[in-house]
């Protein structure tokens, strides 16, 4: 019985990539959450202080201090709620709408388009890009629309917009507004954004280092598996030399070729950059040339006709398909193209859909009767060909329209979550 199974966790690079991707997303989320929390608390504190200064020091007793107070309390509640529900998008959108509403009202009643507080609207846009990325454009367009609304209202006076800032306090109010804008932009947003960026950068470096370490380990695993399979092949070769029975020699040689076909997959995996998929055209070319030399010798009259595009297959598909090709070619070389006769072997593989493939493989040799069935025959090779096609979740049919023995194999690429059944 010949079997090939993949143990859970043996080839983990794809899963590692998924885990790292999830970890990276979690890191970014945590960085944005930390940034939003810090900015939220600082904005609530600073606006509360600003409102108190307006009311008790600058004699601004209408609308403005109450806007500051209302925003401060509402934003504080929103920030505290974020720690409970962890819905960053909801929290940020609420904070942005509160900021836009409060900034618009304060700008509207402190000088309109000439109000120094209008710069706070730009900070809302900056915070939008820092927290939501491309979706910050929505707040950019909204801020532009609000600024245009303030401007046209100053020109056409279609809505009441009294300036509630006393003239003797306007200079101090302008100074505090500018200082608040600068501090929020540089001292709060930029500072925390830089910290988050540095944290993410370090996280990315750690993830890249871990991936490289795992790739090195996985490459070494493929290398060792290949070496072990070659050792098995060498043992089979040594064993065959001490056996005089021709039939037994043939069986040992066939087993040796099957082991080598699997070793080639692992060799190609560790020798290339992609450790999860192999270029199947080069694999089939090397395997076919090896089998022809192994069965027919270096000097032979067998012509190989291989038509395979640039297709990459995962190890779960590559090995059983390689074994199938090995059995088909071995049968063709032993029983189809007799002795030193001329012959041609053709192998064509094409992709039909996302995971659907069609393999045409055969020879122009003697062929065998269509009455021979893989269920009743004693030929191990024929049984393996059909069992391997079944393992690939596919079907296999003989193409009777061509001379010799020709097969059409339709199969699907084995997915990451599918299990390989042993081939009996």
What is the 3-class SS of 82-133, one letter each residue?
HHHHCCHHHHHHHHHHHHHHHHHHHHHCCCHHHCHHHHHHHHHHHHHHHHHH
Kindly tell me if the per-residue pLDDT of 307 is higher than 80: yes
- pLDDT of res. 24: 58
Q: At which residue do the structure tokens 């049968």 appear? A: 331
Q: For strand 343-351 and strand 302-307, is the pairing parallel, antiparallel, or unpaired?
A: parallel
Q: What is the edge-to-edge ordering of all strands in the sheet holding 302-307? A: 302-307, 343-351, 356-363, 406-412, 395-398
What's the pLDDT score for residue 415?
67
Q: Give the whole-angstrom CA distance, residue 151 versus residue 118.
A: 11
The pLDDT of residue 18 is 44
pTM of the model: 0.54
* pLDDT band per the 50, 70, 90 thresholds, residue 2: very low
Yes or no: say if 262 and 300 are a contact pair by the CB < 8 Å rule. Answer: no
Q: What percent of the chain has pLDDT over 90?
A: 23
Structure token digits, residue 386: 């059909």
pLDDT higher than threshold 50 for residue 74: yes
pLDDT level of residue 167 (50, 70, 90 thresholds): very high
In contact, 176 and 168? CB cutoff 8 Å:
no
Q: Given this model, what pLDDT does residue 120 score? A: 86
Q: What is the pLDDT of residues 259-293, one digit of tens each?
A: 888 888 888 777 777 767 888 888 899 888 988 88
Question: Hey, CA dihedral for 79, 82, 88, 93, is it positive or negative?
Answer: negative
- How far apart are the C-alpha atoms of 236 and 361, rounded to whole Å? 27
DSSP state of 347: E
Cα–Cα dist 307/215, whole Å? 32
407 in Cβ contact with 399 (< 8 Å): yes
Poorest-confidence range of 101-105, 146-150, 291-295? Answer: 291-295
pLDDT score of 377: 64
Residues 6+ apart with CB under 8 A from 155: none
CATH code reported for the domain at 243-412: 3.30.565.10
Provide the pLDDT for residue 10: 36
Contact 309, 351 (CB under 8 A): yes
Which one-letter DSSP state was computed for residue 295?
H
Average of pLDDT values for 292-302? 86
Q: What is the pLDDT of residue 413?
A: 85
Model confidence at 132: pLDDT above 70: no
Segment 72-87 mean pLDDT: 89
With vertex at residue 269, the alpha carbon angle to CA 285 and CA 410, rounded to the nearest 5 degrees, is 55
Alpha-carbon distance of 311 to 201, in angstroms, equals 35
Radius of gyration, alpha carbons of the chain: 36
Token pair, residue 45, equals 């504190």
Three-state DSSP state, 346: strand
Q: What is the rounded CA–CA span in Å between residue 179 and residue 278?
A: 60
Rounded Cα distance, 23 and 225, in Å: 30
Structure confidence at residue 69 as a pLDDT band (50, 70, 90): very high
User: How far apart are alpha carbons 182 and 117 in whole angstroms?
Assistant: 11
Domain locations along the chain: 13-208, 243-412
Beta strands in 168-301 (DSSP E): 277-279
Residue range 105-133: average pLDDT? Answer: 83
pLDDT band of residue 364 (cuts 50, 70, 90) is confident
Mean per-residue pLDDT over the chain, rounded: 81
Question: Which tokens belong to 374?
Answer: 């893989």
pLDDT at residue 223, as a whole number: 82
User: What pLDDT is attached to residue 39?
Assistant: 77
Distance from C-alpha of 182 to C-alpha of 176, rounded to nearest angstrom:
10
Per-residue tokens: 282: 């080069």
More confident residue, 201 or 337: 337
Classified as helix, coil or strand, 377 is: coil
DSSP state of 275: S
DSSP 161-174: ----S-GGGHHHHH
Structure confidence at residue 59 as a pLDDT band (50, 70, 90): very high
């Amino acid at each position: 019985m010949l079997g090939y199974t993949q143990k859970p966790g043996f080839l983990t690079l794809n899963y590692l990539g998924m885990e790292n991707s999830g970890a990276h997303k979690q890191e970014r989320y945590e960085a944005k959450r930390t940034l939003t929390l810090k900015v939220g608390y600082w904005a609530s504190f600073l606006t509360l202080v600003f409102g108190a200064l307006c009311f008790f020091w600058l004699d601004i007793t209408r609308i403005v201090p109450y806007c500051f107070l209302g925003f401060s309390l509402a934003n504080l509640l929103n920030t505290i709620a974020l720690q409970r529900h962890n819905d960053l998008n909801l929290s940020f959108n609420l904070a942005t709408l509160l900021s836009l509403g409060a900034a618009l009202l304060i700008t509207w009643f402190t000088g309109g388009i000439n109000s120094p507080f209008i710069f706070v609207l730009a900070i809302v846009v900056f915070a939008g890009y820092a927290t939501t990325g491309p979706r910050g454009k929505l707040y950019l367009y909204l801020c532009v629309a609000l600024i245009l609304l303030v401007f046209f209202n100053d020109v056409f006076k279609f809505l009441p917009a009294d300036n509630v800032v006393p003239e003797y306090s306007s200079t101090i109010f302008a100074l505090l507004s500018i200082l608040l804008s600068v501090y929020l932009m540089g001292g709060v947003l930029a500072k925390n954004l830089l910290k988050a960026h540095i944290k993410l950068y370090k996280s990315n470096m750690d993830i890249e280092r871990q991936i490289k370490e795992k790739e090195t380990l996985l490459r070494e695993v493929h290398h060792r598996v290949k070496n072990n399979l070659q050792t098995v092949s060498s043992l089979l070769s040594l064993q065959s030399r001490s056996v005089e029975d021709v039939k037994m020699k043939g069986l040992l040689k066939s087993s040796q070729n099957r082991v080598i076909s699997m070793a080639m997959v692992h060799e190609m995996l560790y020798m290339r950059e992609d450790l999860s998929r192999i270029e199947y055209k080069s694999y089939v070319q090397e395997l076919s040339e090896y089998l022809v030399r192994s069965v027919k010798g270096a000097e032979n009259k067998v012509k190989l006709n291989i038509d395979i595009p640039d297709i990459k297959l995962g190890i779960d598909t590559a090995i059983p398909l390689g074994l199938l090709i090995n059995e088909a070619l071995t049968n063709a070389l032993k029983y189809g193209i007799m002795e030193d006769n001329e012959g041609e072997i053709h192998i064509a593989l094409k992709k039909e859909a996302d995971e659907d493939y069609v393999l045409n493989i055969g020879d122009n040799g003697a062929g065998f009767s269509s009455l021979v069935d893989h269920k009743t025959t004693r030929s191990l090779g024929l049984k393996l060909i059909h069992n391997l096609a079944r393992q690939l979740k596919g079907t296999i049919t003989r193409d009777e329209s061509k001379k010799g023995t020709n097969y059409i194999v339709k199969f699907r690429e084995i997915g990451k979550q599918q299990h390989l059944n042993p081939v009996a």
